[in-house]
Amino acid sequence: MEKKPFITLEQAKDIIEDIPTPFHIYDERGIRENARALYKAFSWNKGYKEYFAVKATPNPFLMKILQEEGCGMDCSSYTELMLCESCGIIGSNIMFSSNVTPAEDMQKAYDLGAIINLDDYTHVEFIKKVCGVPKTICCRYNPGGVFRMADSEDKVQVMDTPGDSKYGMTEEQMEKAFIELKEAGAEEFGIHAFLASNTVSNGYYPELAGILFELAVRLQKKTGVHIKFVNLSGGVGVDYKPEEPKNDIAIIGEGVRKKFEEILVPAGMGDVEIYTELGRYMLAPFGALVATAIHEKHIYKEYIGLDACAANLMRPAMYGSYHHVTVLGKENAPCDHKYDVTGGLCENNDKFAVDRMLPKIDIGDIIYIHDAGAHGFSMGYNYNGKLRSAEVLLREDGSHKLIRRAEEPKDYFATFDFSEFRDLTF
């Protein structure tokens, strides 16, 4: 399937007059339409709620858009909680899923009235000491071993290895935790698990739902607690490569519904609410990194150097991840040149694309790197003294808005104490 940018060359040039490249840009219309499709897919569940994974794209302007579409927020740190609070997102609109949790983070989540998701059995005593046990509490499950599921051809494939994951509790620990939390005053309980990342399969959520629904039935029978919700967390991915299949959220929602009807309803648990914690699925396709070609190099390979680098989008350097590349204005030109598309870091893995067939790229061409709306800007860093780029919102009416300015040298030096050195002027 062809990947198309959500901005044209003319739009990009108009934005660049105000905001120099590189910058991340987000498509408001796409974000809203995607959120509405998600809620439609799970509309059969009266209590359904999406808790957007703030870590994917922690920008208050984008968070407010999702809040307007009915989403809560999934937080994992003190500062993410502060970000939610600044947006007026508090109480049960926050799911706090953390691990190796500092006491001050736990206290902040408690003070905001967030739903707290305990990652480990030892956190039961930890939360008692830090802030007390809230009436609604959640525990994270890890089934161990290897997570397998059948693909479309009924061939079993390994999706991930929960047994190697640092997250979650065993079923026996969950049982003990529920009993102790109930004795400490908890009244409503939730179950959470994350078994695979970035799945491009309509079967992942239904498979996970079946595992968690059966666990919910067993735990309720053994402990007598009231299980209020099951949180399927994240893991629903996006099609980074044009040839990859695209997840169909309507099919996914229907698959979860069937498991719900098969497992929970006969057990008298038809009131259980379904939650999700999607980050990548919610924003990755609706964000892009826009950069300019500023250098070319001809040695053993052909290189195109951009004014962006791995500090702006580190997934290709860190994971070898594929991100599709479009040369704006040359969408219909033949892809008859092979390039490594690189940034300027002093690291050889600073490459957005390797041996990629693209149209001929000229200095000054505007490069659009797809699917950078999640885990793009948020994973940025300052290695080599590189400064984080701006973030821009493409509004539904076609206008654009700066929603985070680019860093300046003064930001990079802000945490130094220069009292013993010559003052820097900016």
Domains 29-283 and 285-412 share a fold: no
Please provide the size of the chain in residues: 426
Q: How many whole angstroms separate alpha carbon 270 and alpha carbon 280?
A: 29
Calpha distance 168→174 (Å, rounded): 9
Are the C-beta atoms of residues 246 and 239 closer than 8 Å to each other? yes
Architecture of the domain made up of 29-283: Alpha-Beta Barrel (3.20)
Q: Considering the chain, what is the average pLDDT of its residues? A: 94
The domain 285-412 is classified under which CATH number: 2.40.37.10, 1.10.10.10, 1.10.150.20, 2.60.120.590? 2.40.37.10
Q: For residue range 94-149, list pLDDT tens digits in order.
A: 999 999 999 999 999 999 999 999 999 999 999 999 999 999 999 999 988 777 66
Count CB atoms within 10 A of the CB of residue 146.
12
In angstroms, the CA 276 to CA 230 distance is 9
Q: How far is residue 363 from each of residues 103, 166, 341, 366, measured CA to CA in Å? A: 52, 46, 13, 9
Give the mean pLDDT of 52-80: 98
Alpha carbon 84 to its chain's center: 16
Main-chain dihedrals φ then ψ at residue 404, nearest 5 degrees: -160, 125
- How many angstroms separate the first and last alpha carbons of the chain? 48
The residue ranges of every structural domain in the chain are 29-283, 285-412
| pLDDT band at residue 158 under the 50/70/90 scheme | very low
What does the pLDDT read at residue 422?
Answer: 67
The answer to whether 330 and 365 have CB atoms below 8 angstroms apart is yes
pLDDT at 154 over 60: no
H-helix or E-strand containing 6? none
Cα distance between residue 159 and residue 173, in whole Å: 24
